[in-house]
Amino acid sequence: MACNGGGGGGCQSGCYKDEETTRDQPTASSETDSGTSSNLCLKCKLNVVVSGYGGIDDGRFCADCFRSNLFGKFRLAVTSNAMISPTDKVLVAFSGGPSSRVALQFVHDMQERAHKNFEASRDRSLPVFGVGVVFIDESVVFPIPSREMEEAVEAVSLIVSSLAPPRKEFHFVPIETVYSSDSSDGKERLIELMNVVSDPTGREDMLLSLRMLALQKVASEFGYNRIVLGSCVSRIAAHVISATVKGQGYSLPADIQYVDARWEIPVVLPLRDCFVQEINMFCRLDSLKTIKMSTGPSSSINSLVSSFVALLQEENPSRESTIVRTAGKLIPFQFNRIPEIIDGNVPLATRRRQKRYNLKSNESVSSESFCPLCNSPLDKSEIVDWSNHKNCRSSDTFYTSCCSSCQFQILPPDSTPMEKFYMDLPHSVVARSNKVNNVKLNALREQIQDCLLSDGEDET
């Protein structure tokens, strides 16, 4: 049921405007017969509320308005930040969990509506954005039984194929393909690489970096220009705490925005305003199939912080939101926005909306140096003076180029295992490091150019 509140931000009850049609559910009469009206939906005032999922809006909306409210948060994030335009080709990262499942469903709903509008229009001048789905197989890192992985892949493939047209292309990608298309050699090198990392937190952070490399590789090879992640408020809140604990405070604003364009293919977070409790309830209401892989227990900082934040949320449903809002006051970086759209096929309203909501130069921080391993922006104190590292080994140069968190959590402190770690890195990581180092050396040469002697000059 559509909300009558004005504007795109939602009405005073906290709901978001949407065009969802009403579905069968309990009505007000059943609640009136029981002698009370306190359980009526705050939005439509007709239907009985859904409750028991523990979210911040628990017990406020009926099933229809709950769906409309959650999709409205997603749609507002997409439209306000120009995440998806008609000419885009979007790749949804699907892990099988509730968050990525809802992200896939909402992206599909948007595409389906755009396709219906395209079919109904006379000139059919406005294209429909394309959608693909990628599932990253990480069984080479986690001890997942082969039978369980086969069932998971089959289930994911069935979920994607069961979605209504337009058709979604499905990509099953082993994470070892970050090395090359020949995963046999990559598998051995990846195992050797991960064996060097002994710290549980470091292993998880290293896997996160490799996962992003795999997503970027697939998106680049198949022509996608957006990557959609299912990160929600709950996950971002845990990341805020864990990043602070690991000393990543400077780069933290880069990871918690709606848009992250530091990568070749921009990454977007359309579920940034949604809670995991709401997402779980939506999956139950609409019977969305999810998949849970058995990865085993973990003693990493990331896992401990996630458990801690979940405990806080149980005590107070607004804790996660408070953490994210507080971190949101940090100044983002200039790459935390979608590049300006100049495509004439994109509606003028979309371009105006992007110009309105995009970060201004005085509202963001510029960063030209990034960690070659995790691609986090580097603080000035972490930038190396290359005039003192001219004759160092490649592995030592790589080590000093990385951020302090990677040096402490991931990279081995001794030179011999560090050399082994460097040799087993994917080529894309080494190439990125060499490119960054060459740029820094060229910049250093430009700074001291006036002090250098030409070939025909004497030292007198």
Over residues 25-82, the pLDDT tens digits come to 444 444 444 444 578 888 888 888 888 776 677 778 898 999 999 999 999 999 999 8
Cα dihedral 217, 73, 365, 433, rounded to 10, equals -10
Residue for token pair 């549980």: 200
Report, as an integer, the average pLDDT of 289-303.
86
Residue for token pair 């977007």: 268
257 residue type, one letter = Q
Please name which of 203, 229, 226 lies closest in space to residue 301, comparing C-alpha atoms.
203
Over residues 407-433, the pLDDT tens digits come to 999 999 999 999 999 999 999 898 887
Contacts of 213 (CB under 8 A, 6+ apart): 178, 426, 428, 429
Tokens of 408: 């402490």
Residues 240, 242, 244, 250, CA torsion sign:
negative
- Do residues 44 and 245 lie in contact, with contact meaning Cβ atoms separated by under 8 Å? no
SS3 per residue for 142-195: CCCCHHHHHHHHHHHHHHHHCCCCCCCEEEEEEHHHHCCCCHHHHHHHHHHHHH
Contacts of 9 (CB under 8 A, 6+ apart): 16, 76
pTM over 0.85: no
Which of 15-29, 300-314, 415-429 is least confident?
15-29
Which of 63-67, 218-222, 322-326 is least confident?
63-67
Contacts of 364 (CB under 8 A, 6+ apart): 331, 332, 333, 334, 336, 337
Over residues 112-149, the pLDDT tens digits come to 999 998 888 777 777 899 999 999 999 888 878 888 88
- Do residues 254 and 215 lie in contact, with contact meaning Cβ atoms separated by under 8 Å? no
pLDDT confidence of residue 17:
46
**Proportion of the chain above pLDDT 70, given as a percent:** 77
pLDDT confidence of residue 394:
86
Phi and psi angles of residue 313, each rounded to the nearest 5 degrees, phi first: -65, -35
Residue of higher predicted confidence among 190 and 434:
190
pLDDT confidence of residue 102:
97
For 87, 159, 221, 406, the CA distances from 168, given in Å and listed in that order, are 16, 11, 16, 36
Which of 15-24, 98-107, 114-123 is least confident?
15-24
pLDDT confidence of residue 53:
74
**Rounded CA gap, 346 and 87, in Å?**
7
- 105, containing H or E segment: helix 98-120
SS3 136: strand
